Structure 1
Amino acid sequence: MVGSILGFNMKRSEFMTTPTTTRAIMGKQFLSHRSAMIGAMIVTLFLLLAISAPLITPYDYTERSPDLLTAPSAQHWFGTDEMGRDIFTRVIYGTRISLWVGFFAISGSILVGSLLGLIAGYYGGIRDTFISRLFDILLAFPSILLAISIVAMLGPGLNHALLAIAIINIPTFGRLMRARVISVKTEDYIAAARAIGMKDARIIMRHILPNSWTPILVQGTLGFATAVIEAAALGFLGLGAEPPAPEWGTMLSDARQYIQLAPWTMIFPGVAIMLTVLGFNLLGDGLRDIYDPKMKV
C-alpha cells in the first residue's frame, strides 16, 4: 500500500537482505578492492610455492655443490650460499616454515585470546579484572623482547619460537574480543534472549560469537604478517629454526658476513620476507575496509 501511495511497487525481496546476498555483496567489494586483490594474489602465490616446492626446484634444500657463493645463473637462479646450497630452493622451502609458523602461532593466539576475551567481556567482575590485568602485564613488555625471553627459557627451536609468538599475540586478540563482546551483549536481542530463558552458552554460541568474529578475522590476517617478521627475527638471533632448516631469518643471519662478497645471499630471503608481509598486510587492510562500516564512504 505504501508503494502504491508513492507511485511505485516494491517487492518484499527487493528490500530484504539475506546472508547469501550479504556474502555476495562483500565478495564483489573484495574483487573490486585493488589492495585486497593484490594481497590475495601475493598470499596465493606463496601458498602455491609452499605446496609445490618439490616440483619447482630439482634440488634438495640440504644438497651441496662445489660451487660456493656463485652468483645467480641459469643453473642456480638465486645463486648459492657459503656451503654451495641452492638459495632458490632454500627460499622456496623456507616458505613452508614461515607460513606454518604464522598459521599455527596466530591460530593459537586467536583461540586462547578470544576465549579469555569472551569470558572477560561477557561475565565481567573479578574475571574481567584478572584477565585484563594479565593482558596488561603481557603488553607491558616489548613483544620481541618477551618472545626472546620465552625462547631463552625454553631453549632455541622452531616449536619454542612458535609458542613464544603465540603467547605474545594473545593480548591483542583477547582485548579485541573483550571490547567486541561488551558492545554486543548490550544489544536488545541479547536482552530478549535472556528474557526467554536462553542459557549463557547458547547465547554465546548463537549470538555473541557470530557477531564478534569479523574484527578477529581482520586482525588475524594482519597478525599473520607480524608473526612472519617475529619468526624471522628469532631465527636471525639464532633462537628460531635450527640448521639446516631453510628458515628465512636464519638464512639472513648466516649470510650477513657475506653481504659485500655475495649480497644475493641476503637479498632474496629478505625480499621473500618483505613480499609475504606485504601480501598479508594488503589483504588485512582490504578486509578491514570491507567489513568495517566506519571505513566505508
Structure 2
Amino acid sequence: MTDIEAPGSAGTQQPRAEHEFTVRQRSQTQLVLRRFARHRAAMASLVVFVLILLWAFIGPHLWHYSYQKYTQDNSQAPSWKHPFGTNSSGYDAYAQVMRGTQTSLKIAIMIALGSTLVGAIWGAIAGFYRGVVDAVMMRVADLVLTLPLFAIALVISSRTGGSWYWIALVIAGLTWAYVSRVVRSAVLSLREKEFVEAARALGASDARIIFRHLLPNALGPIIVNATILVATGILTETALSFLGFGVQPPDTSLGLLVSQAQTAVDTRPWLFYIPGAFIIAIALTINFIGDGLRDAFDPRQQRVRQ
C-alpha cells in the first residue's frame, strides 16, 4: 500500500502564491500627473513649449546679434550667419524673432495670471455667498463680457505708447470675467460638500473656507482656463500689433514682426512666415497642453487621448 501523508505533515510543502500583489495608494496630484503623462500630444507640446521659452528668454544672451543693432547685411536670405535672414534695415531677424517671442510670451503669461487671479477670486466669492452678492457680482461680470475687447484695447494702447505691460493689463482687465463664470459654477457645487460643512462646524471663517478649501478643490478648471488664456492672450496681442496698436518700436513682438513684413511677403517671405510660424506653434502647444490638463483633472475620463 502507498502511504499517503496527511495535509500539514512534515513531508508536505504548503503551496505558495506565485505572484504577490501590493496596492500602493497614490495622491490626487500623482494621479493627475500620471494621466497627463499618458497624453502624448500634451507631453510633446509641453516639451516644445518649454524649449520655446528657453530659446526666447536665454537665447538673446547667447546670440551675437542684438535685435536693436544694425548689421552690414541688408535684405539677406537665411544663412549660417543669419539663420532667419535680415530685413531691409539690416536687423538680424533671428535676434528679432527671439525678442518678439519673449515679448509676446510675457504679455500672454501676464494676461493669463492676471485674469485667472481676479476671475478665480471673483467667481469663488460670488458662488460661495450666492443671493444678492452673487447676482450683483455676476451682473458686473456680464457687463465686462459685453465690452468690445478690441475697441477698448485699441484706444487704451494708443494712449499708453504701446508698452507691453499696459497691453497685458488692458487685455487681462477685459478677460477675467470668463474665468469667474467657470469658477463660480465649480464653487456652487463644492460649497454643498461635506468638507465645507465640517470646516464651518469647526469655526472656519468664510475667507478660510474660500481660499483654503474651495479654490484648491476648483484648481482643475482654473488651471485649464489659465492655459487657454495664454493662447488667447498671444493671439490678441498679435492682432493688436498687426493693426499697429500693440507693441511699438524700438521694442518688438511677433505680431509687430508679421505686420512689418507683410509688404515683403513676396520678396522676402521668411520675414513674414517665420514669426507667423512661432505664433501658430505657441498657440497650438498651449491648446494641446490645456487639452491634456482637462483630461488629467477630470476623474470621469475613462480613456486617455493618444
| Equivalent in the alignment of 2:119 | 113
Instruction: Return the match for 1:232 from 231, 238, 248.
Output: 238
Looking at structure 1, the residues matched to 302 and 143 of structure 2 have their Cα atoms a distance apart, in angstroms, of: 35
Cα drift, residue 24 of structure 1: 2.6
Is 1:273 the counterpart of 2:279? The answer is yes
Mapped contact 1:157–1:239 kept (Cα < 8 A): no
State the 1:221 CA deviation.
1.0
Q: Unmatched 5+ residue regions in structure 2?
A: 1-16
- Tell me the residue number matched to 2:7: none
Query: Any residues of structure 2 matched to 1:210-225 within 5 Å, and which?
Result: 210-225=216-231
1:53–1:93 Cα contact (<8 Å) kept: no
- State the number of aligned residues: 284
- Single out whichever of 74-83 and 137-146 deviates more from structure 2: 137-146
Q: CA deviation at 1:155?
A: 5.1
Which residue of the partner structure matches residue 83 of structure 1? 89
Q: CA deviation at 1:18?
A: 5.0
Do 2:35 and 2:295's aligned partners in 1 also have CA atoms closer than 8 Å? no
2-side partners of 1:157 and 1:240: how far apart? 8
The alignment's TM-score, normalised by the length of structure 1, stands at 0.88
TM-superposed deviation, 1:56: 4.1
1:149, distance to aligned residue in structure 2 (A): 4.0
CA distance in 2, matches of 1:14, 1:66: 67
Deviates more, 1:276-285 or 1:124-133: 124-133
Structure number with the higher helix fraction is 1
Q: Tell me, what secondary structure is at the counterpart of 2:35?
A: helix
In structure 2, relative to structure 1, the CA distance for the partners of 1:111 and 1:188 (3 Å cut) is same
The equivalent of 1:49 in structure 2 is 55
1:50 to partner: Cα distance? 2.1
Contact in 2 for aligned 1:154/1:160 (Cα 8 Å): yes
Quote the offset at 1:150 in angstroms: 3.8
The aligned runs of 1:28-47 (5 Å cut-off) are 28-47=34-53
Please state how far the C-alpha of 1:224 moved relative to its aligned partner. 0.6
Q: How many angstroms apart in 2 are the aligned matches of 1:189 and 1:24?
A: 22
2:253 corresponding residue in structure 1: 247
Partner of 1:123: 129
Task: Give, in angstroms, the shift of residue 159 of structure 1.
Answer: 2.1
Alpha-carbon distance, 1:243 to partner: 0.4
Identity %: 35
1:76 aligned counterpart, secondary structure:
coil
Match of 1:296 among 273, 287, 302: 302
Residues 14-25 of structure 1 aligned to structure 2 (within 5 Å)? 14=23, 17-19=25-27, 22-25=28-31
Whether the 8 Å contact between 1:161 and 1:239 is mirrored in structure 2 is: no
Q: Is the 8 A contact 1:289 1:296 kept in 2?
A: no
Q: Which residue number in structure 1 is paired with residue 11 of structure 2? A: none
Name the CA distance, whole Å, in 2 between partners of 1:73 and 1:270: 19
The offset of 1:238, in angstroms, is 1.6
Q: Is residue 2:163 matched to residue 1:157?
A: yes
Asked if the contact 1:70–1:80 (Cα under 8 Å) also holds between the matched residues in 2, the reply is yes
Structure 1 residues 118 and 227, CA gap change in structure 2 (3 angstroms): same
Q: Matched residue of 2:85: which SS? A: coil
CA deviations on 1:153-202 (whole Å, 9 max, x unpaired) are 55533222111211121111111111111110011222233234332122
Task: Give 1 or 2 for the bigger CA radius of gyration.
Answer: 2
* TM-score for the superposition, normalised by structure 2: 0.86
Q: What is the aligned counterpart of 2:184 among 178, 190, 193?
A: 178
Name the counterpart of 1:5. none
Offset, 1:55: 4.4
C-alpha separation in 2, matches of 1:192 and 1:24:
26
2:173 to 158, 167, 174: 167
Give the Cα–Cα distance (whole angstroms) in 2 for the partners of residues 92 and 234 of structure 1. Answer: 19
The secondary structure found in structure 1 opposite 2:142 is helix
Q: Distance in 1 between matches of 2:302 and 2:174?
A: 31
Of stretches 203-212 and 147-156 in structure 1, the one that deviates more from structure 2 is: 147-156
Distance 2:228 2:215 in 1: 20
